[in-house]
Each structure stands twice: as C-alpha cells, then as structure tokens.
C-alpha cells in the first residue's frame, strides 16, 4: 500500500512554536520504499518536498507550504557491539531524548549531555545539535540515508557530513538526502564528559558523577532555562535558541570587550562570555549580546515575546502568527547589530517564509 497523501494539513500543531499555515500535501512514510514512492509522486507534479522532524527547530510561514511535507514515522533503537564501542542505531522518528535515556540506562557514554533536547533522532545530525560540551558529531558514526537524486539508500560516514557548529552538508543543501537512521559509537562504562563550566558547577561536590547523574543535572539546567518541554511552562512555545552564537575574529572580540568596559556593561573583561575556537576565532554568547542590547527577558510584543528565562529563546504566547514572530526576531537581530555591530543568524529552519535580510541604510 502506498502512503496516504492528505491535503491542506495544518502544520502549526506539528511545530513547537505552534505557528504557521498548512501543508498543501502531507504524508506519513514508514519505509524507504514509501519515501521513494512519495518523492516520485511529488516529482511528477513538480512539487517541492520538505521532511518534517519533531518541528522543534522550525518556523513555518503563515501561508503554509505549497509542496509535500513528509513525516517519517519509523521508530526503534538497536544496539550492536563493535570493538571497544557499542553502536546505537536510532530510526529517524525516534524521539531524541528517548535515545539518550536508552544509552544512559545501558551505561553507554557519549550523548548524556544532550539530554532533554526536543526533536527526533533523524533531525539531530542536520543541525549537529549540541549542548553542555557535547555535540552529535562527537559520536555520530554514520547515517543511513536516501539519496534524493538517485533514490538509492546508502550509508554515509560521519566524516562526509561536513559537521561544524550547528552546521552540516544537510543544512547547506537540504535537497540532498533524507536521513532514515543514525548510528552513534558509544563507550560502555566510560566516564561522562563534563566540559561545560555551568555543568561542572552543577556537579561540584559529586566525586564521580554517573552518566545518569549528568543526565539529571543537564535536565535540571535546561528546565531552569525553559529549554525543556513542559506543557505547564509559559515559555514552552519556542524553538530553544533562536539565534546561533556568533563566531568572530579576535579583533572584533577585543573591540566588544573594550566597548562593554567603556559603557560599563561589565566591571572586568572576564565577564564578557567568550570561547576561543580551535580555528583562532572566538565564539560569543548571543543571549548575552541580546540582553546587553537592551532586549530584556520577558519582553512582550503582542502575542510573542522573549522567554522570561533566557534572552535567546523567542516565545509564542498563543493567538499569534508567524509574521509576529519574525517581526520580534528582526527587532532582536537589529538591536544587537545597532549596538554591537554583530549580525545574529537565526538557528531554525524556515519553511514557506524567508528570513528577512538586513535593511540597507544610507
């Protein structure tokens, strides 16, 4: 039986923002054969195809998407020993946090700091999710993908995925492949990684933190920042960080510190969050820049606003539309650009709506 193609399916309930219009066509696909069938169907009608994951990093335009949205539904997690590692293979639709919980329960180290991230396992490599000192690319061994051009299923080794900070070949070229499953090489019984200062502080006093101890600490930190989905939380309709942390040259980072000191935003240079990168650049904290640009946590702009717990998360409070969200996001971006000369880039994927470019001023 080929997959059922439905018409005019609302996408808002399938996104964490709960915003945006319908998909003109929508199909759930369980197998690679289903995906191939759906791609051919769309090809015959010249329709664009978009693959939906958990909708937790997605902004859908108010007019919706005039093509075919595919939702992969295959779930399952399998474990296989390979040398010193255990390979965990998760099917694309498996909720990511279930994958982390399953690894931690088997005492497999490598993804414990990625606890509490919403979304599906298949979407994790697309933006190379990262948090608290780990990122998907650290342990990802390979992907089983469907090549959208040849319609063949193949194994894609992690080294060919072009991973960077919140980046991969899939983000740069979304039309290339569809991820069917992801395999992670985990270390049985190994010590957890505690590289992020905030996490280390939370675990201070615990002599040898277990993987489950780290998972709990990360969940706790995320909960405090409203970065853990909770139906009771008024900040829940968001996509986590709306902007990526900007990476700048050392000169620009030094200029920011000088400005912050000059304007008495900080007492000492160390108070400006900066993380030196291996390539010589410096990663800055977008949330810090947003707040110091005068955009306060809890700011409201009608039905949307800034999270009361974290300046980098934009929130829909209900009854709004995507145009409201984009207006707010542009206000945040432009406030930071005006104050610090740094242009923040959005992290979510935009479907059926474009991220507006900077206005040229004379």
Q: Which of 33, 152, 173, 198 binds ligand EPU (CB under 6 A)?
A: 198
Catalytic-residue membership of 144: no
Nearest distance, CB of residue 243 and ligand EPU, angstroms: 6
Kindly report the length of the chain: 362
Q: Which of 22, 53, 67, 287 binds ligand EPU (CB under 6 A)?
A: 287
Task: Say how many C-beta atoms besides its own lie within 10 A of residue 280's C-beta.
Answer: 8
Candidate ranges 22-30, 60-68, 237-245, 353-361; the one touching ligand EPU (CB under 6 A): 237-245
Q: Which of 41, 79, 196, 355 binds ligand EPU (CB under 6 A)?
A: 196
Cα 17 to Cα 315: distance, rounded to the nearest angstrom: 7
Among the options 237, 241, 291, 333, which is catalytic? 241
138 part of the interface to ligand EPU, by CB under 6 A: no
Question: Going by C-beta distance under 8 Å and a sequence separation of 6 or more, which residues neighbour residue 77?
Answer: 88, 89, 90, 91, 94, 98, 99, 102
Q: Are 192 and 108 in contact (CB under 8 A)?
A: no
314 part of the interface to ligand EPU, by CB under 6 A: no
CA angle 173–175–176, rounded 5-degree value: 75
Residue nearest to ligand EPU (CB): 240
**Of 307, 215, 206, the residue nearest 316 (C-alpha):** 307
**Could you write out the DSSP letters of every residue in 101-118?**
HHHHHTTEESSGGGTT--
Query: Which strand ranges, in their side-by-side order, compose the sheet holding 282-284?
Result: 247-248, 282-284, 274-276
Q: Are 137 and 151 in contact (CB under 8 A)?
A: no
273 part of the interface to ligand EPU, by CB under 6 A: yes
Among the options 144, 148, 166, 292, which is catalytic? 166
- As to burial, measured by CB atoms within 10 angstroms (0-12 exposed, 13-18 middle, 19+ buried), residue 79 is middle
List the interface residues with ligand EPU, window 105-124 (CB under 6 A): none
Candidate ranges 98-106, 173-181, 182-190, 307-315; the one touching ligand EPU (CB under 6 A): 307-315
Structure token digits, residue 19 = 């915003």
Identify the H or E element spanning 141. strand 140-147
Residue closer to ligand EPU (CB basis): 172 or 224: 224
Residue closer to ligand EPU (CB basis): 95 or 273: 273
Nearest distance, CB of residue 35 and ligand EPU, angstroms: 27
Nearest distance, CB of residue 240 and ligand EPU, angstroms: 3
Residue closer to ligand EPU (CB basis): 180 or 314: 314
List the interface residues with ligand EPU, window 43-72 (CB under 6 A): none
Candidate ranges 3-11, 102-110, 308-316, 350-358; the one touching ligand EPU (CB under 6 A): 308-316
Nearest distance, CB of residue 287 and ligand EPU, angstroms: 3
Conformational region of residue 314, where left means phi above 0, alpha means psi within -120 to 50, and beta covers everything else: beta
Cα 145 to Cα 173: distance, rounded to the nearest angstrom: 14
29 part of the interface to ligand EPU, by CB under 6 A: no
240 part of the interface to ligand EPU, by CB under 6 A: yes
Structure token digits, residue 164 = 């960077």
Nearest distance, CB of residue 129 and ligand EPU, angstroms: 7
143 part of the interface to ligand EPU, by CB under 6 A: no
Catalytic residues: 166, 241, 347
Site of interaction with ligand EPU (CB under 6 A): 131-132, 196, 198, 225, 227, 240-241, 244-245, 273, 285, 287-288, 291, 297, 310-312, 347
């Amino acid at each position: 039986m080929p997959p059922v193609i439905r018409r005019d399916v609302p996408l808002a309930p399938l996104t964490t923002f709960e915003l945006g219009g319908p998909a003109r066509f929508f199909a759930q696909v369980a197998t690679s054969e289903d995906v191939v069938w759906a791609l051919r169907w769309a090809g015959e009608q010249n329709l664009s195809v978009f693959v939906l994951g958990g909708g937790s990093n997605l902004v859908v335009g108010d007019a919706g998407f005039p093509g075919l949205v595919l939702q992969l539904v295959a779930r399952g997690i399998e474990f296989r020993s390979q040398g010193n590692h255990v390979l965990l293979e998760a099917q694309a639709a498996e909720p990511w946090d279930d994958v982390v919980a399953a690894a931690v329960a088997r005492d497999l180290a490598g993804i414990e700091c990625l606890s509490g991230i919403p979304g599906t396992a298949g979407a994790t490599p697309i933006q190379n999710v990262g948090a608290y000192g780990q990122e998907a690319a650290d342990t990802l061994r390979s992907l089983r993908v469907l090549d959208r051009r040849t319609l063949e299923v193949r194994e894609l080794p992690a080294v060919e995925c072009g991973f960077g900070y919140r980046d991969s070949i899939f983000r740069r070229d979304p039309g290339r492949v569809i991820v069917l499953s992801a395999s992670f090489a985990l270390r049985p019984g190994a010590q957890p990684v505690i590289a992020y200062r905030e996490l280390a502080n939370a675990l201070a006093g615990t002599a040898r933190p277990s993987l489950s101890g780290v998972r709990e600490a990360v969940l706790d930190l995320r909960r405090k920042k409203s970065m853990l989905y909770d139906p009771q939380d008024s900040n829940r309709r968001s996509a986590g960080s709306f902007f990526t942390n900007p990476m700048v040259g050392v000169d620009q980072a030094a200029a920011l510190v000088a400005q912050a000191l000059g304007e008495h935003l900080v007492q000492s240079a160390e108070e400006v969050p900066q993380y030196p990168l291996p390539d010589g650049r410096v990663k800055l904290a977008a949330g810090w820049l947003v707040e110091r640009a005068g955009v306060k946590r809890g700011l409201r702009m009608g039905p949307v606003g800034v999270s009361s717990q974290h300046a980098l998360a934009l929130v829909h409070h209900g009854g709004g539309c995507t145009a409201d969200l984009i207006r707010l996001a542009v206000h945040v971006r432009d406030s930071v650009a005006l104050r610090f000369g740094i242009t923040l880039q959005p992290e979510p994927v935009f479907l059926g709506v474009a991220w507006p470019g900077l206005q040229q001023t004379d």
